[in-house]
Every structure is written in structure tokens, then in C-alpha cells.
């Protein structure tokens, strides 16, 4: 054997070993990704995630510290806020949808006049309603177009939903658009989840503001920052910048076209995202832990620019839930009356959620995506949803066109949830939209276009709605139900004259 032949064989052997080792590492990375993230790796999807991070994350000016709430929301004079343009990072591609000049999703203005050739359909609520109006707009338009009474009319969806909206934000948004000359033929409100969960889960009371105030009101409106707050805000921006730089580095051909490179990026990005979330939590705690200024009976932020509402005290969670449910009922009736008085049809739906016990058969695969024992929403749904279901039954009895969707997935084995909060996959949103369309079709066929206003007194006089016995009727496990009557409410005490 010649020396050249020997070298060639050794080279081929080494190349083969490198190939085998590379293949083993790639296969291991592919399998590891599946084990960690519960889905198969897609180079295209991961590259799209990187590109979105690169485009959506911007560094704040050196002399300006910006909190998560401030970058996510823009203050609005009537309904608290609208979502900031380019701030939909946590919702991926969904909130990259077109935004109109009123701050809502959609290309056209929400202020439109009725016409014989078109059907104006408003939709409001929180993030579920907002996403549904984007992801399942095609399904809703198709289904409504098929209703015989609407044949030949162009269905135009007007999306008035915003992330974390809760009453009275839906009512105020609709009032604002109508006051500017807007009209609706049909108005859909899917809510209830935010109203009952966010006051405790997102800590409105802990921040010293009423449960019905907009999300993160203290964070959004407090302008007097301390040195610690500036440092925390700077850490958020540095974490975001590091995340963007890492994504940019892994867009190179080799790491973006190998399982190992994509796995390494995903692990690093997850750590960066968690680090950013930790800094955001720290900043939020700093901003809201300061005292509340009081001058006689007027409570304000430390910077003296924003009103914080009347001080509220609830001894037990049950006391809070009853007040939330009553408040939600009143706003629902007012929204119904507003729409129907202007010639429209109002349809309200209680949003389904995975944490309501027995509401859906959830497989092991769906559970990894949809359930978390540490979810801040879990306990609120378990305890609070019977209050909303009972309140919804009261609305229906009073004459509001209300439908409880809590158990709509009770016999649906198909995965529909997309996260451990409350959001759905496209298939899940289509399920909901189809159920809504069925309700609307039946109501219209039965002459429901003649729906009228409802007096609030009809629900105020119902003293039995939230009794423990009645609440248990709205659970699937009456014996194990905890109505919150033994759980104290965590809330911040005002600090008179705090500086």
C-alpha cells in the first residue's frame, strides 16, 4: 500500500467519523429540542422568531428609562390605554396586524356608517377578543355572510378589543366610537375572564388602585422614578438588546441551518427572555411599592399627576368577587343598552378557560402547553368563575343576549389552548367564532333584532345570585368548591403624605 493511499484512507476514515459524530450531535439536538419544547424543530419557524425579535426590539435612548407597561401601552384619555405599535413581542405575529388611527386593530377606521350593502360587526373584550378578531376574522366573516338575513351584505369587522381590557373599558371604547359617529349592526363582547382574574392576578389592589381601573395604572402613570427604578429599567433594555444581538448572531447560515445551532439559540433566548421578565417584575415592584399621596380625600401617584381612585377594602376574596360580578353585570347592561338604543344587536359571551375544573378533556400533550400549577390565573378561575356564570345567568334572565361558553369544550378532545393563561390556537378561536355565529343566526331567525334596553334594577334586586348554594350550581364539583370566603384579600394600605 502506497503512502498516498494510506493517507487517503485515513482522511476518509476521519471524515466518516466526523460525519457520524456530527450526525449524532445533530440528532441528539433535534431530540433534545423536542423533549424541552414539546414540539418538533422547524428551521423556518425559528428563523422567523429570530427575525421578529431583531425587528421588534429597540434600545431605549440612553437618557430615558422605560418600563414594560410604558412600552406596551399608550395612555388614552377615555379608556386607559391602547397597545403601543410594535409592542406585541409576547404575542408573536398576531399583533403585527394593521393598526388604525384610533389605536385598534384593522386597516379601516372604526367610525363607520350603516348601509344596506354592509354589515358592521363590532367586537370587544381583552386579548382573546383582540386576537380572535385578527386570527379568525375570515371565519367570522364567512359564517355571518351565510346567515340568510345578511345575504348579499359585506361583513366589516370592527375590532375594539385591547389586551387586558376589562369593564368599563369595553363600554367606554364603544361609547367613544359611537360619540364620534360610529354605528354597529351587531356588537360582540367576549369577556369575564379579565374582570374576575386580573384584580388579584395582576395585583390592582396590591398597587393601591380599584379593581376596575385599567391594567398597570400605577406603572403607566407614575412618572417620578428613583435611582433604583432607573437601574432596573436600564437592565430591561440591556436584556432586550442582548436578546436581539444573540438572535442576529444566529441568523448566520451555519447556526441557522443546523439542529445544534438552533437548539443552542433557543436555550439562550429562553434564558434571556426569562431574565428580561425578572427585571420587569423587579421594576414593577419598585414602582408600585411606593406610598400613595393623599390630599384630603384625593389619592394620587407620587408624581401628583394621576388620580388613583377611591380607596377600597375587601376583607375576604368572596367580598371582592361579589363586587366584581355586580360591576361587570352593570357594565354589561349599559353596553347592551348603548348598542340596542342605537339600533344594533348586542351579544355577550363568557370567555371559556382551561382552569375551570371539568371544562375540557386535556391530553398530556395539550397540558404541557396549556396548564401550569403555578399559573397566577388558575385559582382565580377556579374560585371566581362560578360568580361570573351566576352573574351571566342573571343578565340572561334580565333580557341581555348572554351566552355562557365556559363548558363549550366539555366534550372536545382536540387541543385548542395555546398557552398557560387563556389564549387559543387558530382552531380554538374558530371553535368560538362558530359558536358565536350559531347564536347570532338563531337569535336573528327568532326575531332577536328587536332586542331592547334592560334596566339595571333587574339584576340589583336579585339577592340570591351569589349565595354559596347558588354558586355551587355553577361548578362541576360542588363539594370541592372554594368560594373565597376564608381567603383574605391582599391590598396595599395608603400612606398619608408619603413622599
Asked if 280 contacts 236 with a C-beta cutoff of 8 angstroms, the reply is yes
Give the C-alpha separation, 270 to 132, whole Å: 26
| Calpha distance 330→319 (Å, rounded) | 17
Instruction: Indicate whether 103 belongs to any domain.
Output: yes
CB-based contacts of 49: which residues, under 8 Å, 6+ apart? 92, 247, 269
Asked, for residue 296, whether it belongs to a domain, the answer is no
CATH of the domain at 141: 3.40.50.1110
Q: Which residue is associated with the grid cell 387563556? A: 422
Rounded CA gap, 64 and 284, in Å? 17
Helical segments of 92-206, H only: 127-135, 137-145, 169-179, 193-201
In a domain, 271, yes or no: no
Assigned C-alpha cell, 485: 370566603
**CA distances, 234 to each of 66, 122, 175, 216, 242 (Å):** 8, 40, 39, 20, 12
User: What is the domain extent for residue 349?
Assistant: 77-217+311-472
Rounded to whole angstroms, what are the CA distances from 77 to 82, 172, 178, 195?
A: 10, 10, 16, 21
What's the pLDDT tens digit per position in 182-208?
A: 999 999 999 999 999 999 998 888 888
Contact indicator for 178, 141 with CB cutoff of 8 Å: no
**Domain-located, residue 416:** yes
Q: Per DSSP, what are the bridge partners of residue 155?
A: 119
Q: Is residue 109 part of a domain?
A: yes
DSSP state of 215: T
Angstrom distance (rounded) from CA 252 to CA 250? 5
- Stretch (H or E) spanning 220: helix 217-221
Give the predicted TM-score (pTM) of the model: 0.76
Among residues 169, 162, 160, 161, which one has the least CA distance to residue 213?
A: 169
SS3 for 247-298 is: HHHCCCHHHHCCHHHHHHHHHHHHHHHHHHHHHHHHHHHHHHCCCCEEECCE
Between CA 249 and CA 256, with CA 250 as vertex, the angle to 5 degrees is 150
- Model pLDDT, residue 498: 32
230 in a domain, yes or no?
no
- Give me the torsion for CA of 322, 394, 449, 178, rounded to 10°: -20
pLDDT of residue 360: 97
Total domain count, the chain: 1
For 208-257, the pLDDT digits (tens) are: 889 999 988 887 887 666 667 677 777 888 888 888 888 888 888 888 88
Q: CB neighbours (10 Å) of residue 47?
A: 17
**Per-residue pLDDT, 497:** 34
Distance CA 363, CA 354 (A): 12
- pLDDT tens-digit readout, 140-181: 999 999 999 999 999 999 999 999 999 999 999 999 999 999
Residue-level pLDDT at 492: 53
CB 349 within 8 Å of CB 189: yes
Q: Which of 220, 226, 228, 224 is nearest to 204 (CA)?
A: 220
CB 356 within 8 A of CB 378: no
- Number of residues that make up the chain: 499
pLDDT at 361 (0 to 100):
97
Task: Give the chain's residues under pLDDT 70.
Answer: 1, 56-71, 86-98, 223-227, 229, 284, 286-297, 449-451, 491-499
| Residue entry with cell 441528539 | 28
Identify whether 30 is part of a domain.
no
Q: Which residues of 452-478 are buried (b: 16+ CB within 10 A; e: fewer)?
A: eebebebbeebeebbeeeebbebbeee
Q: Give the CA distances from residue 494 to residues 145, 205, 294, 302, 489, in Å, rounded to whole numbers and listed in that order.
A: 53, 11, 8, 12, 15
**Is position 28 within any domain?**
no
Pairing type for strands 298-300 and 345-350 reads unpaired
Rg of the chain over all Cα atoms, to the nearest angstrom: 26
Amino acid at each position: 500500500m502506497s503512502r498516498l493511499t494510506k493517507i487517503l484512507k485515513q482522511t476518509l476514515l476521519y471524515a466518516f467519523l466526523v460525519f457520524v459524530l456530527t450526525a449524532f450531535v445533530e440528532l441528539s439536538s433535534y431530540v433534545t429540542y423536542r423533549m424541552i419544547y414539546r414540539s418538533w424543530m422547524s428551521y423556518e419557524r425559528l428563523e422567523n422568531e429570530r427575525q421578529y425579535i431583531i425587528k421588534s426590539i429597540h434600545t431605549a435612548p440612553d437618557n430615558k428609562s422605560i418600563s414594560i407597561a410604558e412600552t406596551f401601552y399608550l395612555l388614552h384619555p377615555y379608556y386607559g390605554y391602547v397597545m403601543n405599535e410594535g409592542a406585541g413581542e409576547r404575542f408573536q405575529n398576531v399583533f403585527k396586524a394593521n393598526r388604525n388611527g384610533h389605536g385598534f386593530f384593522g386597516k379601516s377606521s372604526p367610525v363607520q356608517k350603516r348601509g344596506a350593502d354592509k354589515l358592521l360587526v363590532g367586537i370587544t373584550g381583552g386579548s382573546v377578543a383582540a386576537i380572535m378578531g385578527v386570527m379568525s376574522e375570515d371565519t367570522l366573516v364567512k359564517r355571518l355572510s351565510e346567515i340568510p338575513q345578511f345575504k348579499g351584505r359585506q361583513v366589516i369587522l370592527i375590532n375594539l378589543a385591547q389586551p387586558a381590557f376589562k369593564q368599563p373599558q369595553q363600554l367606554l371604547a364603544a361609547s367613544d366610537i359611537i360619540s364620534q359617529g360610529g354605528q354597529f349592526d351587531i356588537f360582540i363582547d367576549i369577556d369575564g375572564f379579565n374582570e374576575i382574574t386580573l384584580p388579584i392576578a395582576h395585583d390592582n389592589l396590591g398597587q393601591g388602585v380599584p379593581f376596575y381601573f385599567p391594567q398597570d395604572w400605577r406603572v403607566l402613570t407614575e412618572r417620578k422614578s428613583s435611582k433604583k427604578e432607573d437601574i432596573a429599567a436600564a437592565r430591561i433594555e440591556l436584556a432586550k438588546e442582548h436578546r436581539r444581538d444573540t438572535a442576529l448572531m444566529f441568523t448566520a447560515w451555519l447556526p441557522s441551518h443546523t439542529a445544534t445551532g438552533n437548539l443552542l439559540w433557543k436555550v439562550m433566548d429562553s434564558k434571556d427572555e426569562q431574565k428580561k421578565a425578572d427585571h420587569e417584575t423587579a421594576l414593577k415592584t419598585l414602582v408600585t411599592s411606593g406610598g400613595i399621596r393623599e390630599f384630603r380625600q384625593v389619592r394620587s401617584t407620587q408624581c401628583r399627576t394621576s388620580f388613583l381612585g377611591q380607596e377600597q377594602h375587601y376583607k375576604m376574596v368572596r367580598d371582592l368577587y361579589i363586587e366584581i360580578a355586580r360591576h361587570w353585570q352593570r357594565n354589561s347592561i349599559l353596553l347592551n343598552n348603548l348598542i340596542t338604543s342605537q339600533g344594533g344587536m348586542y351579544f355577550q359571551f363568557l370567555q371559556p378557560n382551561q382552569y375551570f375544573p371539568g371544562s375540557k378533556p386535556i391530553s398530556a400533550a395539550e397540558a404541557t402547553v396549556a396548564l401550569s400549577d403555578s399559573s397566577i390565573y388558575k385559582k382565580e378561575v377556579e374560585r371566581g368563575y362560578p360568580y361570573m356564570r351566576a352573574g351571566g345567568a342573571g343578565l340572561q334572565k334580565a333580557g341581555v343576549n348572554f351566552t355562557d361558553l365556559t363548558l363549550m369544550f366539555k366534550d372536545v378532545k382536540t387541543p385548542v389552548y395555546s398557552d398557560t393563561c387563556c389564549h387559543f390556537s387558530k382552531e380554538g378561536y374558530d371553535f368560538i367564532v362558530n359558536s358565536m355565529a350559531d347564536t347570532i343566526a338563531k337569535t336573528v331567525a327568532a326575531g332577536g333584532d328587536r332586542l331592547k334596553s334592560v334596566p339595571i334594577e333587574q339584576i340589583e334586586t336579585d339577592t340570591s345570585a351569589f349565595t354559596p348554594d347558588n354558586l355551587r350550581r355553577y361548578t362541576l364539583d360542588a363539594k370541592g368548591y372554594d368560594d373565597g370566603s376564608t381567603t383574605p384579600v391582599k391590598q396595599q394600605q395608603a400612606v398619608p403624605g408619603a413622599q
